[in-house]
Structure formats: C-alpha cells, structure tokens
Structure 1
Amino acid sequence: MAIPGNLLAAATSTMDPSYVGWRVRSNATLVSGTGGRVGPRCLGVKSTAAAGAEAETVSFYPVTAGQTYFMFADAGGSVVERIGIEWLDSKAVPVGAVTWSLWTMSAMAGWHRVSVAGVAPVGATRARLVLASAQTTAGVSHFWENVYFGGVIRTLGNLLPWSVEATEIDASGWTAEVNATVSRQVPAMSWPVDAYTAGGHTLAMTATAAGNAAVRTVIRPAVTPGTEYMAYAYLQPPVLTATAWIELRWHDAAGNQIGAQRSVLAAPGTGMYRQRASAVAPAGAASCSVAAGLDGAGAGQVLRLETVVVTAAPALAPDSVIRQDAATFEQGTGGWTVSSGTATLARSTPWGAAALEGSYALTATSPSATASTLRSPRVPVTEGVNWRLTTGARATTGTTTSLWLRVRWYDSTGTSIGLSTGTGYAFANTGWYWMSTDAVAPAGAVEAAVELTVTASASASVLHVDGVSLRQVLPLTEVSVTEERGFATVTLRELILGYTLTVERETPDAKRAPVRGASGLIVDQPITRELVVAEDHEIPMGVPVRYRITMTSPSGARSTRSTPLVTVSLPDRNEVWLKDPGNPQRACRVMVQRAPDWQRPIEQAVHRVRGRRNPVVLSGRRGGMEGDLDIWTRTDEEREALHLLLDSGNVLLWQAMPGMGVADMYVQVAEVTEARTGGTAAEPWRSWSLPLTEVDQPVALGVNGSGGRTWQDVITEFATCADVLAAYATSEDLLLDRRRG
C-alpha cells in the first residue's frame, strides 16, 4: 500500500518494478536487488571505489520555504548509512547545505529505518533526496526501499508537538532533569514496514554518573481535570537489569507539579518496548508533561526513547467505563483486590509475556485448588441500563479453570445493593478466551465493580486477565439520516476482529449495492475495530433503503445483520444532488433549469456495396447517455461550492427524486458554461450548462476523510491562526491535512 502523503511516485518509493526514479550521485552503480519489503525489488547502490556511495532522485519535489518536511527510508547492508534532503531553488541551484540525518550507530544487514526532517530554507522551491552509505572498499552494495518524502507523519491526537514526539530535527523539546545529558542517536533497529511514526532518530538520555537519571519534556500541553490521559513511548534500556520508566505528570496553573503516575518497564531484553502510563487528571491540573529515566543507572548508561505520545486515553471498548489502568494492567494491578480467597495479584512479567491488549495482564496466583474473587475499582453506572461485562482470560497452569463473571452494584452511600447472577465459564490452559455477561443495573445503583470468581483445579494455578470492559449495551446496528446533506450513517458495533466485513445497500426491488468506505467499496474488508461508522453518500433519494451487513470468518462461515428501512429525500423535487463520491464534503444541491435531451452515441462503419440498394453496417456497442444538464445556482455560496466540486474533474454522482425521469447516474462533466441571468450586476443567480457523459461507478475510490484528525491536532501543531492560513489554502485542505507545496 502507498504511504499516505508521499510525494514520491510508487515506483520511486518501492523500487518496483525497477529503480527508474533514482540515479548515481557519486561513486556508485545502481542495481535492482531482490528481497524487498513492499514488493519483490529494492535498490542496490554498489560502490565503485573505496569511498562512500550515494544515489539521488531523478526528479525534484516541490517544497514551500519555512515548512517542515520529513523523509525516511528502509536500508540494509554491511556499512552504516544516512539520508539527506537537498534544497534547491527554482533553477535547481542548491540553497544552503544538505539536511543530513545522523549516521546510524552500527551496520545492520536486515531492514531498518533511517529518517531525517528539516525546514525548507528561504529561497527553496524544490528538493532532491539523497541516500548515502559509508563503504570503505569497492564493490560493496547497500540496499534501499520504502522511501517517503512529504509532510510530517505524527500520531493523531498527540498533545505533544511532532518535534517532541519524533526528535527528527533536534532534541530541544527535552531537558535533563537529574544526572543526565540529552542527545540524539540513530540505532540500527528493525521496525514494521508500515510503522511510519517510528524509527530513525531517537532521544538518548545518558546518565552522567551512577545513580538515578531522568529527562522530561519542556512543553506542557493543557489538560482538563477529570479526564483520563495516557502517555506512552518506546523505551530501550541499556541492559536487561535496568529499571527504566515513563511518567505522566500533572501541573497546576502556576506550573507546580501536583501529581504523577509512573509506569516501570519490565523489559525482556534490550530492544525497543512500548510502555504506557495512564491516569485521570486531578482537580487543579492545568497541564501535563512526560518524564522518563533510569533508577540506579550506571555512569554512561543510555536510555533511548522513540515516539513519545500524550493523548486522551481511549476506551478499551466503545463507551467502556473502566479506566485504562484497570482494564489493561500496563502499569500495575490497576486497583484490583482479592475480596475473598487466597489468590495473590500481580502484573505479568516480563513485557509481552502475557497480554491481549497492550503488553501486560493481571496475574492471579492461587496457592490451592480453591475459589477466590477478584474485584475491580468502582466505576460510575446508570440504573435501569443493561451493562455488558467483557474480559479475556487464560489459565497457564492446572488442567481446568472455572471463572464466573459478575457485576456488583453500589448506591450513592457506597453500600452494596446486589450482585448480578453472572455467567460461568470453564476452560483449559490452551490459550486466551473472550468471555462476557450482561446485567441490568438495579434501582439506586450509581456505581459498579467487576467481580471475577476463579476456581483453580490445582495448587499454584495461575490465571491471566486482560482487556476488561464494562459498557452500556447499545444496538449492534444503527442507521440515521442527514437529509440536509443527503446521506445516511450506519453504525456497526461488536464486530468480530479477524473477520471480513461487507456492507450493502438494499432497495425495495431487492437490488443490492456495496457502500463506500475509506478504502473503497466495503466488500470483504478486514475487520480491525469493533466499532465501524460508515456514511453512505450514494444512497438514492426518496427510496426506502435498508443495509445488510455480512461478516465472514477465515473459514468462510457467515453471519448477517440488517437495519430498519430509512429514506433520504430532497425537500424540493426541482433540486438535484451533485456529489463527488470520494469527497462527499463537496456535495452541492442545485436547482434544475432543464433536464438533458439525451444522446446515445455509437461507432458504426457503413459500407455501400455497388449494385445493392442497402448498405452493410458494422456497429459497435451503443454508449451511455450524453447530454447537457442546465441548472441554476441561487447564491454566491452555491456558485463557489459548485466551482469547488467541478474543479477536480472527478467522476460525479447525479441524484434526483423518483418520478423525474432519470435514475442515479455517475457522470463526467465536460467544458462548463456559467452565464448571468440578467438583472443588476449584484444579481447572485447564475445559469449553468453542464455537458454530461454517463460513466461507470468508480469502484476502488475511497472516501477522502480526516482519518481521526481533530482541532486538537491543529492546536498542537500551530501556534497562531496566521500559521494555519500560511499552511493551508482552503478549509478542506485543513481538514485533510493537505499543506501548501
């Protein structure tokens, strides 16, 4: 899959089917290598003498002075490497020095990530990309693939700016707090091919002497008291026995620290491991910061950090009321207790040894074959509502374990007012199991606690619990309409991860058509989330429609759902919708002046035979509709919206109400005529003639959406509105993060 936002052509990025986008810069010959990550091919840069070898892009890429650009590539070979961005003016003359990454700290034959970022200098309008490797003998090849160049790729929702998250430009977003120095390093390390926010430069904290060492962020983003937040980063400890940690800190309006939540890494080795810390912002909290460090560090020991994020903590399951620390056990036992029995609780160890969500699980050890009840912290609930408790569990020793899932209810005084009947499960130590139970909160219930009663079949039995959620039971499928924008919204809950999903629109004549999603028509798409919301902007007008949802297991078994009938109408039958299926935000509702007089062209060859009255005619297949649609725009806003819709030249969808003599039609619009309707110069009405040609529905086209981008991301990235205006030409570009240049 192409890297989102990449200015490089697919062949230049992946080297497939060849490396035509690259040329020799110095001391090299180029070869097409095998064993690529994205496709079968990669670029080999072979040294021709005992010196470093460099390759560069054949093309230049447009840049805007003052904006930050990011480049990364995956590399492999027997020597160290670096990459660079060469800034050029409009005449392709270099502007200033090449912005180079640091050299990798060691060579690595396997694929690893190298990256660099820089601000385009004054006078720069173009950029050329450079790949460099430090060969010391002739005939040594270095391999490259998966190259990206474009805007920065940041974690959506991160309250920290990208300069702090990635440290690709410098380490100025961090400061030493105690017994440490701050720098950057590029360890040679493998990352998944699509881990676009990780790899390359890391923050390096070096202990200056033996003892505790710590660093912290300089920037303190604003927080809201009572909201749960999560901080996480990849940590690389210097040795297996090191005590490495990350800490989420709270500060009041005066900058005083008023609280902190530390999460200690139980490292299984000396690689990169993502560690989380989560907590609810206390009363009086105005901002937060992130710290990391080593306890009992040796002089010169280095702790590396990668991809540092602070964000509002996502619920483990949609609308779950259980906090992250009590649901995923990333920083401890999450406040769980043993309300009865002899079991003991601990966080699993080491990192990654036991987990369903994240990297740790709650570990309950039973010293004897008896029952113990594990209880979660209390959470707020609403009386009279049906709640669903879901958890994953795994028995690691013993033959069979019995587990009862229940919910205990509490009133406003904190007194227990009942325990749900619950559901029991028995399972062997063969892996993880998902289990659930439903219960209605009784009258007077304002709080609840999850209770898990485990009965071990043997002494020293161990049970792992992870992924605990308690959420209000909502409909599996919901549908609503937004008539003023001409679309329907389908909400799907409790989808099965690992299955594939198909969403179809069904009309009263039993015809079905797939609904369009972010990656094209939703037909056998992999399910990666329990909750999916799809907006159907191609729903026909004035026709009752239901949606059929099909989930297919890897073995081919199918389950289906359907929604009630819904109808989206046009308030005025003289109006029609013109929509861009891939950009529904551009949809226009306009008034029809005159419907087309249709033509259906056909290719024919007429052969007149001498001596015969009638010719021989050879015909092709008759084409689709062609004709001119005459419409009015009634306001300046409608006129500007129609221009925006037509500017792209994309395939459009024309929709009218039933009974108007035309079915929904996908069209291409040729040369457009916009005319005044008479009257004064201030008259806003315009008469348009749109030459239409009927075309097929675009199948692979996905809905171009924001992908989770919010105003918080804009606030984090830009200091002033003037900075936003300088970066984006239109509000649509702001929504989709399409920056100038």
Structure 2
Amino acid sequence: MPIPGNLLSPTTEMIDPNTSGWASKLNATLVKGVGGRNGDGCLVVKSVAAGEVQARTVSSYPVAAGTTYYAFADASGSVPERIGIRWLSATGTEVSVSWSLTTLAASSGWHRVSVAAVAPVGAAQAQVLLSSTPAGAAVNHFWENVYLGQPIRTTGNLLPFTTESTEVDASGWTPVVNATISRQVPVISWSVTNYLAGGHALAMTAVAAGNASILAVDRPTVTPGEEYLAYAYLQPPTVASTAWIELRFYDSVGNQIQAIRSVLAPPTPATGMYRQQVAATAPANAATCSIAAGLDGASAGQVLRLETVAILAAPELQSGSVLPYADSSFEQGIAGWTVASGVATLARTTPWGASGLAGSYALAVTSSTATQSVLRSVTMPVTEGRNWRAIAYAHPAAGTWSTVTVRVRWYDAADTDLGASAGTTYSVPGSSWYGMQADQVAPAGAVRAAIEIVPTASSAGAVLHLDWIALWEVLPLTTVAADSGSGYVTLTLRELPLDSTLTVCRMGSNGARTLVRGEGGLIDGQAVTSDLLVVEDHEAPLGRPVSYRIEIRDADGDLSTRGSATVSLALDDINLAWLKDPGNPQRNLKVMVEKAPDWQRPIEQATHVVRNRRSKVIFSGRRQGLEGDLSVWTRSDEERESLHLLLDSGNVLLWQAAPGMGVDDMYVAVGQATEGRTSPLAQDEWRAWQLPLIQQDMPTTTGINGSGGRTWRDVLTEFATVADVLDVYDTTEDLLLDRRG
C-alpha cells in the first residue's frame, strides 16, 4: 500500500513490480526479491566485494532548503545498516549526505531504519541512500517499504517533531537526575503501516545505581480543566527496574504544580517497545505541560529507550462521554474507582498487553468469596431529565461470575445521594469480552452521577476484567442540518460500531441514490474507525429535498441501515450560482451570473461522398456532453481573488444554479478563462468573466482535502514566529493543509 505523502513512486517504495526505481551507487548489484511486507517484492542489494555497499533512488526529488525531510525503510540482513538522504543541487551535484546512525545489531527480521534532517543551503533535490558493510562478496541485504517526504507526525501532538521522534537529534530532551541522553537505533520490528515509528530511539542511561529520569524541554500551553493524554513507547532494560512516564503541569512562571505517573508493567522478559499512557486534567492554575520518563531502582549503565512521544487532548473512548480517560481505560491504575460494598478488590491487570480493550491494561476485579460487590466510579456532571447511557466491557478472567449489573447513581448539588437507577443485568458465561450498557433518565435535581457496576461471583477467587467504560447523554443516532448560507448539508452519525464498514448515500425525492463524498473519496464500504462521523455534503442539490441512507455492514457481513430526516438547501438570490471544488470545499464561491451558456453538444463524424449518389454516408460517434461559455461577475477584489484560487488547480468543479433557472447541477472542466473590466474606471472592482465549460462525470476517487485534525497548536509547536510561517507557506490554505512551498 503506498505510504501517504511519499515523494517516491509506488514502484520505488514497494519494489513492485520491479526494481526500476533503484540503482547501484557503490559496490552493489540489485535484483528483485520476494517475501516483502509492503507487497511481495523487496530490493536485494548484493555486495560485489567486501566493504560498504550503497544503493540509491534512480530519481531525484525536489526539496526546499531549510525544510526538514524524513526517510525510512524496513531492512533485513546479516550485518547492521544505515539509511541516508543525499542532497543535490539544481544541477545534480552532491551537496552533502545526512546519514542515520548505524543499527545496533544485525537482524534477519524486518526492522525499521530512518533519518531526518534539514535540507542544507544549496539543496534543490534529494535521493534516498541505502547502505550496509558486509565482510565479503555476494552478501545480500534486503530493503522494503521506503519513504521520503515531510515528517509524519502524530495528529494533534503538542510536542514538536524533534521531541516526538529523535530522528534529527536529542535536543528536545534534558537529563533530570542520574542520567545521560543519547540516540540509538535498536532492532525493532514495527508494523509495516506504523509510519509514526522510526529507527532512532531516545536512550536514557543511568549514570549510577538508583533512580534516573529525563524530561522533555518543550512546554506546550494547556487549558485549565481540560483533560490531556501523554504516551510514549518504552523499551525497559531486561534487568529488574521500574520504568515510568509522567505528565507534568506547570504554572505561568514555570513552577511544577502537578505530576501524574504511569508505571510500565512489562512482560518477562521485556524485549520490545511497549506504549505506556498517562492522562490527567490540567489544574486550575496550569499554564504549560511536559512529559518525563525514568527508571526507579536502576543499575548503573541500564538503558531506557523511548520512541513516538506525544501529548495531546485526551480522546473520547465514546463520543460525548463525561467519564475521565484514566477512569475509562485503566492505563495508569484504577483511577477513581472504589469498592462501595462487598469483598472485591481492585487492581490494574499485569503484565502489559495481557488484557485490555482501550489500551494495554484493564481493571481486574477479584472476589475472595462467591458474593456480590458494588464498584463505583468518580462522579461526573450530568443534566437532569436527560437520557444517559452507561457502558462497560467485561470478561471473566478466572473462576465464574453469574451476573453483572450496570447502573447509574445520582447526586444533587449538595452531593445528596438520590439513589441508583435499576440498571440492566447481564449474564457472563465463558471468557469473551461482553459489552454491557444501560439507559436511564437523570431524576429531577440530579447534577452529578457515578457509574456503578455490580458483579456477582459464583466461585471464590473469581477474577473479572473491566475496560472501556463510558457515560454519555444519548443523542439521536443520525442528525442532518442544512446550511444554505455556506451551501452544504451536515450529516452527523453517532454510535457507529467499530470494525464495520459504512456506505452513505444521498436520496433524492425521485428515489435516486448518490454516494456522498468523505475524506477518502466517496463513502462506499469505508472502514469505521470512530463511533462518531461528521460529513459535510457540499454536493447536495439546491432547492430540492434530500435525505440520507446509511448502510452499516459488520465483520460477518450482516447489514443494518439508518435513515435521516429530509432537508433542503436554499439560494435566496436567483442571480447567484455556486462554483464548488468537490475536493477542496474551502474554495467554494458564490458568483453572480451574467448569462447562462448557450450549449453545444459536439459529435465526431466521418463524412464520405459516394460517386453517383446524392446523399453522403456519415459515420457518427456518440454525441458528447454539454459545452458552452458561462458569463459571471465578481463584485469585489476578494471575490476576484477567490475565483482565481478556485480556478488555479484545474480541478473538476460543480456548478449549481438556483432552482427554476433551467440548469441542472453539473460537473464541469473550465477552459481558458477571460477576466474583463466592466467599466473604464480603474477603481471599479467588478469584473466580467467568460468561463468555457465542458461537462464532466462526477469525480469518484477525489476525497475532501481538509486539515485532518491540524490545529493552530500544531503550527505553534513547529514555528517560533509568524515570519517563520510566512517563509514556508504561500497562502493560508497551504498553512491549513500543511502544503509547504
């Protein structure tokens, strides 16, 4: 599968169907191998003689000096390897090479190597270099899944790339106590599609026996009262010591005011990378935050490695849930859960990855006797008179459990207990994970609530695991709203089942179905990755009622459907029309129509004159679509510039006129556009445009090109000043889409 944003062609990236994207640079012959990860093919670099072997991309790719670029590949071989970015001038002269560190050990298993560097002054092009140094001739080294392009970031990460990943250097980190910092390239086998993971890891080495720790130097700003999630992949030492991460908050003058720790419980022996998470709500006086990591009880020389470090706004396991992340997922402990009654004891499962749905851990409930216990969460804000849904996933891990009840307990403003809802009781046979939910209406006066889970053990020593717990106000599964001013319909889908596929169609009043466009193109069998989906349908017709049909197919192929209410978009002024770019709705523009086209429908014909026959013989092709000139006005400099931006890409556009104007919605390609003045007065901002239109089919593969979660926080973590931003982006749209000049 091609890597998003890769400058390399799919053939060069995947080595499928051939090795045409690669050339020998030093002491090597190249052949295509099999058994690759990203497609079956892989690049075999065979040494001609002992000594360093290098292969390079055949093509050189355009780069901008001063911009950071990132390259990675998956490798396999009998000797350690490294990867490099070769910087070339505009004439193809080598400027310099940025090399990764060499892998710590050789491995015949696929493992990641990578490098990131700033393109030096004079660099206009770049190539990827692959290098190893065998001790003899005819030694094979295998390469696959190669990338060159912009750094691939964790969406929403408050930390900059140099802190999230140590591919450039380790300047984003500082020792705190008893530690030194370096970079290493351990042999780690990441998933082939885990593009966030690189080859370099941050290595903290304990100077002497005792506790050791390091801290990220960045201090991203936070909002008091908002919940944040921090995580890092940790590779602890194999000798016993305790590895941990901390989410730390600071006040406006830099004093640390809170630190929440999450301890890794690795399997034995611990040989891989394990993602450890920690979540907390920013205190009232918090201004910034950071992340720390360390070892307790370390031996001198022990090493803790970190990879893919992030701080971001805590995600909702269930859209709209009011339960804190830590209390929902148990990644750092039992959080605010308590045993309200009964003999049950609570603990986090161990080791890492042994049990869990929302992460790597779950809540372990152990009952010493065959009795009932009541488990209670922290209290959360609710609104009286509204329907609330609680859900918990559970599975028996040891012994047997007869039933589990899920319910909600309510409290008023004075914290008086208003009692618990009846809840819903479930049986729990076997050892699978079961989703258990209960709906209840908050009684009058209720302002806070706690989830209660009531398990009944039927054997002494029984253990029950709980995870993915949430409480949220039940809103309609499907809502639809028309925004006539902006010319689109918003469709909101809630409580979508994960691991299913989704198809969304727009239904016309005549029963016609049209697929709706999403970020990945038309939503037709799209994988569901979140329980909430918001779609802006910018291609909905004007003045005609539409509704939406949603088809959901689960992993077993079973189909369920939903329908929406009917809405309609209006256009108040019949003299206006929409020109829309289906893939870039931020460019959509309303223009004033001077004159609709006089349509032509060309046809290819071959005319033959037959001797002694009056009528010609004509062979005709199929008559083509509509062609004609649309005359429009722009009434301001802003509209004129917006129309230029809309036309610049040359993309297929959607023309929508007001209902009753005798023109159907039409996808069109715009030919050579003419911009003319309407008055000899230079200050007149009106312009008359002639837009030659040729009717087109609806684009089927174009997805909506949006920010994908990019926010001003992402910009602030990378650029110190506005001047730095202006040096990189030509337009505000380029800034929004991270499209660098």
Who is 1:392 aligned against? 393
Who is 1:13 aligned against? 13
Match of 1:665, as an amino acid?
A: M
Match of 1:233, as an amino acid?
A: A
Q: Distance in 2 between matches of 1:372 and 1:129?
A: 61
Who is 2:70 aligned against? 70
Who is 1:218 aligned against? 217
Who is 2:718 aligned against? 717
* Partner SS for 2:672: coil
Q: Distance in 2 between matches of 1:498 and 1:219?
A: 37
Aligned-pair CA distance for 1:98: 1.1
Who is 2:522 aligned against? 521
Deviations 1:131-181 (A, max 9, x none): 111211111111112211111111121111110110111111111111111
Aligned-pair CA distance for 1:530: 0.4
Q: Distance in 2 between matches of 1:416 and 1:403?
A: 22
* Partner SS for 2:486: coil
Q: Distance in 2 between matches of 1:519 and 1:223?
A: 32
Who is 2:510 aligned against? 509
* Partner SS for 2:300: coil
Superposed counterparts of 1:36-185, under 5 Å: 36-95=36-95, 97-185=96-184
Match of 2:68, as an amino acid?
A: T
* Partner SS for 1:724: helix
More divergent stretch after superposition (209-218 vs 509-518): 209-218
Who is 1:607 aligned against? 608
Who is 2:412 aligned against? 411
Q: Distance in 2 between matches of 1:307 and 1:93?
A: 35
Aligned-pair CA distance for 1:673: 1.3
Aligned-pair CA distance for 1:554: 2.7
Deviations 1:108-136 (A, max 9, x none): 11221111111111222222221111211
Q: Distance in 2 between matches of 1:587 and 1:306?
A: 41
Q: Is the 8 A contact 1:232 1:308 kept in 2?
A: yes
Aligned-pair CA distance for 1:362: 0.4
* Partner SS for 1:715: helix
Structure 2: 5+ residue runs without aligned partners? none
Who is 2:365 aligned against? 364
Who is 1:205 aligned against? 204
Deviations 1:12-61 (A, max 9, x none): 21222122121111000111111222212121111111112101112222
Who is 1:633 aligned against? 634
Aligned-pair CA distance for 1:615: 2.5
Superposed counterparts of 1:634-653, under 5 Å: 634-653=635-654
Aligned-pair CA distance for 1:614: 2.0
Who is 1:693 aligned against? 694
Q: Is the 8 A contact 2:3 2:147 kept in 1?
A: yes
Who is 2:289 aligned against? 288
Q: Distance in 1 between matches of 2:705 and 2:402?
A: 48
Q: Is the 8 A contact 2:235 2:304 kept in 1?
A: yes
Aligned-pair CA distance for 1:240: 6.2
Q: Is the 8 A contact 2:167 2:198 kept in 1?
A: no
TM-score by length of 1: 0.98
Who is 1:424 aligned against? 425
Match of 1:518, as an amino acid?
A: E
Q: Does 1:545 align with 2:576?
A: no
Who is 2:256 aligned against? 257
Who is 1:30 aligned against? 30
* Partner SS for 1:524: strand
Aligned-pair CA distance for 1:224: 2.1
Who is 2:593 aligned against? 592
Structure 1: 5+ residue runs without aligned partners? none
More divergent stretch after superposition (269-278 vs 254-263): 254-263
Who is 2:493 aligned against? 492
Match of 2:172, as an amino acid?
A: G
* Partner SS for 1:569: coil
Q: Distance in 1 between matches of 2:23 and 2:537?
A: 46
Q: Is the 8 A contact 1:397 1:429 kept in 2?
A: no
Q: Distance in 2 between matches of 1:544 and 1:588?
A: 22
Q: Distance in 2 between matches of 1:638 and 1:682?
A: 15
Q: Distance in 1 between matches of 2:215 and 2:295?
A: 12
* Partner SS for 1:612: coil
Who is 1:448 aligned against? 449
Match of 1:141, as an amino acid?
A: N
Q: Distance in 2 between matches of 1:517 and 1:401?
A: 45
Q: Is the 8 A contact 1:189 1:199 kept in 2?
A: no
Match of 1:483, as an amino acid?
A: S
Q: Distance in 1 between matches of 2:50 and 2:380?
A: 67
Match of 2:43, as an amino acid?
A: L
Deviations 1:336-379 (A, max 9, x none): 11111111110001111110111100000111111011111111
Aligned-pair CA distance for 1:679: 3.1
Deviations 1:588-614 (A, max 9, x none): 111111111111111122222222222
Q: Distance in 2 between matches of 1:310 and 1:455?
A: 39
Q: Is the 8 A contact 1:544 1:567 kept in 2?
A: yes
Aligned-pair CA distance for 1:94: 2.1
Match of 1:722, as an amino acid?
A: A
Q: Is the 8 A contact 2:677 2:688 kept in 1?
A: yes
Q: Does 1:312 align with 2:296?
A: no
TM-score by length of 2: 0.98
Q: Distance in 1 between matches of 2:240 and 2:394?
A: 29
Q: Distance in 1 between matches of 2:441 and 2:401?
A: 30
Match of 2:45, as an amino acid?
A: V
* Partner SS for 1:734: helix
Aligned-pair CA distance for 1:399: 4.0
* Partner SS for 1:338: strand
Q: Distance in 2 between matches of 1:645 and 1:413?
A: 58
Aligned-pair CA distance for 1:462: 0.8
Match of 1:265, as an amino acid?
A: L
Aligned-pair CA distance for 1:293: 0.8
Aligned-pair CA distance for 1:254: 2.5
Q: Is the 8 A contact 1:517 1:702 kept in 2?
A: yes
Q: Distance in 1 between matches of 2:639 and 2:16?
A: 45
Q: Distance in 1 between matches of 2:385 and 2:590?
A: 44
Match of 1:178, as an amino acid?
A: V
Q: Is the 8 A contact 1:181 1:207 kept in 2?
A: yes
Q: Distance in 2 between matches of 1:60 and 1:606?
A: 50
More divergent stretch after superposition (549-558 vs 415-424): 549-558
Q: Distance in 1 between matches of 2:219 and 2:4?
A: 29
Q: Is the 8 A contact 1:395 1:401 kept in 2?
A: no
| Aligned CA-pair RMSD | 1.2
Q: Distance in 1 between matches of 2:402 and 2:22?
A: 60
Aligned-pair CA distance for 1:465: 0.4
Deviations 1:71-130 (A, max 9, x none): 1111111111111112222222222x3110000111111221111111111222222221
Q: Distance in 2 between matches of 1:706 and 1:288?
A: 25
Q: Distance in 2 between matches of 1:131 and 1:333?
A: 47
Deviations 1:213-266 (A, max 9, x none): 111111222222222111100000111633110011122223222221110000
Match of 1:182, as an amino acid?
A: I
Q: Distance in 2 between matches of 1:342 and 1:401?
A: 16
Aligned-pair CA distance for 1:400: 4.4
Q: Distance in 1 between matches of 2:251 and 2:673?
A: 59
Q: Distance in 2 between matches of 1:4 and 1:481?
A: 33
Q: Does 1:669 align with 2:670?
A: yes
- Percent of pairs identical after alignment? 61
Who is 1:735 aligned against? 736
Q: Distance in 2 between matches of 1:221 and 1:653?
A: 42
Aligned-pair CA distance for 1:539: 0.4
